[in-house]
Amino acid sequence: MRLRRKPGITEALKEFAGLVAAPRPGGGWSGEFGRPAPLHVELGVGKGTFISELAAREPGINFVGIEAQPEVLFQAAKRVTARDVANIRLLHFDAGGIVDIFAPGEVRRLYINFCDPWPKKRHAKRRLTSGLFLAKYRVIMAPGGELFFKTDNAELFAFSLEEFATAGLEVRDVTFDLPAGLDGDVMTEYEMRFRTLGVKINRCEVVFP
């Protein structure tokens, strides 16, 4: 669901200079962080719960969170600021152009959590796990790079597993009912809400050759 644009949101995001970054044509994100480190990217940061917790746990990783809706990005920026973690940059950007802002082989891991399922068949190419997007990820992923995927939508998960197989990607640790509190797993705000409703969480890890 797309939120109505709030007046002044672009100016409000300027309050988070240094955290909300500009796109970097061609990549080179180690320069943005001022250090070389593995780069992990979350597509669709929501309110920032997931990426801020990950960054706090893994200070040796550079994290970039991409969000297409500026109102949502503003909420994420507030949360990241409250956590006081320095190894995150947030980006107002459409994931469809992802190959333009990361260099080939620059990304070590992608996180896709509870993305829009685009349930209508004619919108299948818009799904972030469609073959169209997987081809883009293949360009920017480091050899052996990983995609960690979570969704509450069983139909999207089945579609995604088929797309991963068609693309020749290795799929591991597939679960259709992710246990709560799994070691090392971080919940998003959506996941917390779904679990209170008894909704099962689907998850898998995908490896790029």
Calculate the alpha carbon distances from 2 to 6, 67, 116, 125, 164 in Å. Answer: 12, 12, 10, 18, 27
Distance, in Å, from the CA atom of 136 to the CA atom of 131, rounded to the nearest integer, reads 9
Q: Looking at 84, 94, 116, 185, which residue is catalytic?
A: 116
Beta strand 20-21 with 170-175 is: unpaired
What is the rounded distance in angstroms from the CA atom of residue 24 to the CA atom of residue 161?
Answer: 31
Q: Check the CA dihedral 103-105-109-114 and report its sign.
A: positive
Beta bridge partners of 88: 63
Beta carbons of 23 and 100 less than 8 angstroms apart:
yes
Catalytic status, residue 116: yes
Q: Which residues are catalytic?
A: 116
